[in-house]
Amino acid sequence: MKTENKNGLLVFLLPELLTVLAGSAGVYGLGIIARQLSAENALRDAVMTALGFAVAGFFLRRETLDDHLDYDNADHPIRFWIVVWCCLLFSLACVFLPAGGWPFPAVFVVLSLFGNLPVGILFSSVFLMIAAFEGQSAGIFFLYFISGIFAACLFQHLEEEFSIAIPLFLSLLCLLLCETANIVLLTNEHLTLEQFLVPAANLIISGILLLGILKIFSGMVVYKDRVRYLDLNDTENQTLSQYRKTDRAEYFLCIHTAYFCERIAVKLGMDKEALKCAGLYHKKCWDQMTKEGVEFPKGARTILEEYTTNKKYHHKETVVLYCSDAIVSAVLLLLQKEPDKKPDYDQVIDKIFERIWQKEIVSECDMTLHDWKRMQKIFKEEKLYYDFLR
C-alpha cells in the first residue's frame, strides 16, 4: 500500500501547486481591489496564504503516505482537491458577506470527511484565515474555529451508523452559542430579535449545506462500500459458492473465522463489515480475486494486505483476524483428531494467545492490553459454538 501511495504522490503535487498559486493570487487581488489594502499588506496576506496551503499540502501528503486518510480517500485525491477549490472560492467570497453569516462549519465537515480530521482542520483553518484577514476580530476567527472543529468531530466515522440528527443539532447549537457570544453580545445596542437575523440565517444555510454534504458523501463513499460489502459478505455469492465446492474444509474455516471477526468487531467497536469480509476471504479467495483484479473496499483491503504480507501487525483489525483464524483452526484440528473427546477450550485459547504474544506478532499493534484481554474473553464465551463445529 505504501509503495502505491509513493507512486501516487505526484497526483497531489500539481493540485497543491495550483492551489498555492491560485489562493495567494486571489488573496492579493482581492486585498487590492475589494479590501483597498496597500500593496505591502496585500502581499503579506498572499504570502501567509501560500505558506498555509504549502504546510497543509505537505501534511496531506504525509497522511497519504502513512495511509491515515479515512474511508477510500487515498484512492481519490482529485476528489479532495475539487472540494478544496470549492472551499477556496467560498473563503474568498466571504469578504462580501457579513461576518456573522459565514457557514464555516460546513467547510470543516466536508474537508474532514473527504480527507481525515487533522487534514480537514488544517485546511479549514487556512480558509478561515483568508476570510478573516482584514477587519475581523480574533473572536470571529475562534467563533468559526471552535464550532467548525466541533462539527467535524461529531461527523466522524459515519460508516458505522449513518445517524446525523443528533450531530447536526449539536453542531448548529454550538454555532448559535458561538455567534451569540462573539457577535450579538458584543454589540453596543440593547438585545433585539433583529440582531439574531444574520446568525439565524447562518444556521439555516449551514444546516442545508451540511445536509447536502452528508447526502453527497453517503452516496459517494458510505453506501457505495455498504453495497459492495453486501455482495462480498453474502455466502451465497458466486465466488464463495464456488469456493465451497472446490475446498469445502477451508471454506467453512473461513466462515467460522468471519463469525468471530464480526462478533469481536461489534464488541470492540471496530468496522464489523470490513472484518467479516476479511475473515471470509483471507485464504485462497483473496489471492485469486486479487489476481483477477476484483476491488475490495479499503477497510477490508487494508486488513487483508497486512495479514498476507507482514509478520508483525500494526492494525488491531488484522490481529483480530489472525487470532480468529488461529482459534478456529486449532479447535477444528482437535475435533478432527479426537471427535469423541471434548477439548478444554479455555486451555486451548490460553495457549494460543500465549504463543501469539511470545511471537511478538502484536508488539507493534495499536491494540490496547484491555482489548486484548476482552478478545480472549470473547473466545472463551463461545463454547456452545465450538460444540456446534463437531
Q: What is the DSSP string of 81-99?
A: HHHHHHHHHHHHHGGGS-G
CATH T-level fold of 236-388: Hypothetical protein af1432 (1.10.3210)
Question: What's the N-to-C CA distance of the chain in angstroms?
Answer: 39
How far apart, in whole angstroms, are the C-alpha atoms of residue 212 and residue 103? 13
Place of cell 467570497: 93
Mean pLDDT in residue range 252-256: 94
Is pLDDT of 2 > 50? no
3-state secondary structure of 82: helix
Percent of the chain residues topping a pLDDT of 90: 55
- Write out the three cell numbers for 109: 465537515
> How big is the CA angle at 23 (ends 83 and 97), to the nearest 5 degrees?
75
Average pLDDT of the chain to the nearest whole number: 88
> What's the gap between Cα 135 and its chain centre?
36
How far apart, in whole angstroms, are the C-alpha atoms of residue 16 and residue 363? 37
**Boundaries of every domain in the chain:** 2-225, 236-388
Question: pLDDT, tens digit, for every residue of 73-87?
Answer: 888 899 999 999 999
Tell me which residue of 280, 278, 282, 331 sits closest to 300, measured CA to CA.
278
* Of 1-15, 53-67, 193-207, 248-262, minimum mean pLDDT range: 1-15
Band the pLDDT of 128: cuts 50, 70, 90.
very high
pLDDT for the residue 5: 45
Provide the 10 A C-beta neighbour count for residue 36. Answer: 10
How far apart, in whole angstroms, are the C-alpha atoms of residue 29 and residue 200? 31
For residues 78 and 40, is the Cβ–Cβ distance under 8 A?
no
How far apart, in whole angstroms, are the C-alpha atoms of residue 159 and residue 70? 10
Mean pLDDT in residue range 17-24: 95
